[in-house]
Amino acid sequence: MTEPTEAERGTRAARDTEAVSKFVESFAAQLVEAGMQRMPARVFGALLSSDSGTMTSVELGEQLRISPAAVSGAVRYLAQQHMVSREREPGSRRERYRVHSNQWYEALTSREAVLKRWEHALREGVDSLGGDTPAGRRLAETLAFFEFIDGEIAAMMDRWRVHRDKTFGQG
């Protein structure tokens, strides 16, 4: 990784660390409310609010006042959810964690595999229970809902790419 430029260091120095901390904790609380675990939510908020979008374990630990083990567990969870990636610093064993501008897109589209597995399981359930039974009809409706959502997510992501390119330029 390259060292921060003078302008980046100046921006960081001028930033109100208390305001950043309040944002991170507030945003993390919203993510927790939506079902994310607390520590990954805090780490994600810290990465998202950093100018570079990258931080080391030490930096995250210092900013959030958490242990290296807490950082490691949070990053593992976030990486599994495709919300952050790990990058090795050249010539170092130290890793940096990066949040990408398309993290929401990646996180949402990675759910496609989960939806496909659910659809498969529901299809088997309908076949096992019989489509004409009350339980079978309920499973069939649930299956239809997930198939609908799957198609809508794909179409929505296509529309998002067009909107993002118009709003922020080719990315």
CA distances from 31 to 25, 36, 85 (A): 10, 6, 19
Fold of 6-100: Arc Repressor Mutant, subunit A (1.10.10)
Give domain limits for the chain.
6-100, 110-168
Two structure tokens written together for 51: 């100018």
Please tell me the pTM assigned to this model: 0.70
Q: What span, in angstroms and rounded, lies between the C-alpha atoms of 24 and 6?
A: 25
Q: State pLDDT tens for residues 113-153.
A: 788 899 999 999 999 999 999 999 999 999 999 999 988 98
Q: State pLDDT tens for residues 61-114.
A: 999 999 999 999 999 999 988 889 999 878 878 889 999 777 777 777 677 778
Residue 41 class from Cβ within 10 Å (0-12 exposed, 13-18 middle, 19+ buried)?
buried
